[in-house]
Amino acid sequence: MSLRETLSYSTSRERFRQQAEEHGWQLAALEPPSSSSADGPADGPADGPADGPANSGETSGASIDVACRGPDDASRTLVVTAGLHGVEGYFGSSLLLDWLRAAEGLPTQATASPLRLLAVHCLNPFGYVHRRRTNAQNIDLNRNFMLRGERYTDAPRFDAELDALMHPTGPDAWRTFFRLRLAWMAARRGPKRVQQAIAGGQAGNPRGLFFGGLSPSPFVAWCEQHWPRIVLPPGVGPRDSNHQITHFDLHSGLGAFGSLKLLLQPGIDPAGVQWMRSRFGGAMVVPPPPADAGPKGTARPTGRARPTARAGDLPYQARGTWGRWLQNRFPHGCYRYACAEFGTYNALHVLAALRQENFAWHHYGAGSAEHERAADRLRDTFYPPSTRWRATVRAKFLSLATAAAHPAADDTPGK
């Protein structure tokens, strides 16, 4: 397959299931959440072509496929998921195919710490099919998971200047010197402040980028119903504190070309942060900000110690993330989530591709020539057609997952 060829959703799903069966994984197919919701526009332009069937938001024949291997009495589960941001499923599903093969020889039956392995193919089939980051209601699923007591409407809103820049109107408005204007805004306001305002999650524009929704999306209810049964062995309940779950959620688009960072989420226990650092190296693991820290995170370390990633290394802090919600649903210290973020292009490139695709979707519609071009560009932004990038990312991912699978003395929950 050439670098420019990518797998359609149906072909990717078929290969995932075939690979799993060939290498001894057990398979389950779950119906994805309904795409019907009153929380935002299903799609379609406000000032362009009328809505139609092509933008109805339905993805017929889709499923969320789960592959599992390992003993039912395991004390640990290693979970790898892909496609929460649909368009990132192209790169994520390719890594899962590698993982299904590579995991065959892992010591899942280790007597001291038996292990279950889980691979979840595509959490957002709609986004994968349409090469969009969001679900059918334009909701960024990784901004939609609020904890008890938090309100969706408390999310920030773009100010008028930023909203006009990120969400242009008119046939050719997206072409108007976006990178130059955004760079100038960053110079005036500060780059980190601008990136936080754009990517942290917003509630003011349902057709805009990084929209976190105004209420829980159907995927939240889907996770409440299915996720404990997916990740826990038979007979283990969601409040059982004797089972340790490590979860790598595959993402791309943030960071240097081919880099890997493990972005930890608020709510992870301190022992979990230490476990991640000792297992994968302090330079790879980016801890969450302390509970009492602002956006700038922690102080810069001094001396000649080995480089360690800091909370301040995050370019922004997202609101309503899936990982924080998951860690809150399980006993303290028993669920350790990391966003495994693989870098592609610089932030200006990524934001420009997101902006162009979002504009084309809402103003021209699915299936239009304009959206096809923009969607292909967005896919290539998150899954670069580069032999070097793909080989580097594959090697780093397999090294990460293999290291996580091997038992260690500190794998006891809560330690």
* 316-331 pLDDT per residue, tens: 899 999 999 999 999 8
Residue 315: band (very low, low, confident or very high) from pLDDT cuts 50, 70, 90 = confident
Contact 43, 51 (CB under 8 A): yes
Among residues 144, 141, 9, 6, the alpha carbon closest in space to that of 63 is found at 9
Write down the pLDDT at residue 61. 81
Write down the pLDDT at residue 293. 47
Write down the pLDDT at residue 275. 93
Q: Distance from CA of residue 162 to its chain's centroid?
A: 24
Q: What is the mean pLDDT of residues 202-211?
A: 97
Residue 66: band (very low, low, confident or very high) from pLDDT cuts 50, 70, 90 = very high
Write down the pLDDT at residue 306. 47
Q: Report the residue count for the chain.
A: 415
68-104 per-position pLDDT tens digit: 999 998 999 999 999 999 999 999 999 999 999 999 8
CA dist., res. 339 & res. 406, Å (int) = 20
Strand order in the sheet with 244-252: 26-30, 64-69, 115-120, 76-81, 244-252, 335-342, 260-264, 285-286
Among residues 313, 342, 315, 276, the alpha carbon closest in space to that of 82 is found at 342
**CA geometry: angle at 244 spanning 266 and 307, to 5°?**
50
Write down the pLDDT at residue 35. 62
CA dist., res. 175 & res. 82, Å (int) = 32
Which residues are within 8 A (CB) of 383 and not within 5 positions of it... i.e. 6 or more apart?
6, 88, 90, 91, 94, 252, 344
Give this prediction's pTM. Answer: 0.90
Neighbours of 187 (CB within 10 A): 10
Domain 9-253+306-321+338-405 has CATH 3.40.630: yes
Write down the pLDDT at residue 239. 82
Contact 194, 182 (CB under 8 A): yes
Contact 244, 76 (CB under 8 A): yes
354-374 per-position pLDDT tens digit: 999 999 999 999 999 999 999
**Percentage of residues in the chain having pLDDT higher than 90:** 73
**Percentage of residues in the chain having pLDDT higher than 70:** 83
Q: What is the mean pLDDT of residues 378-383?
A: 98
Average pLDDT of the chain to the nearest whole number? 87
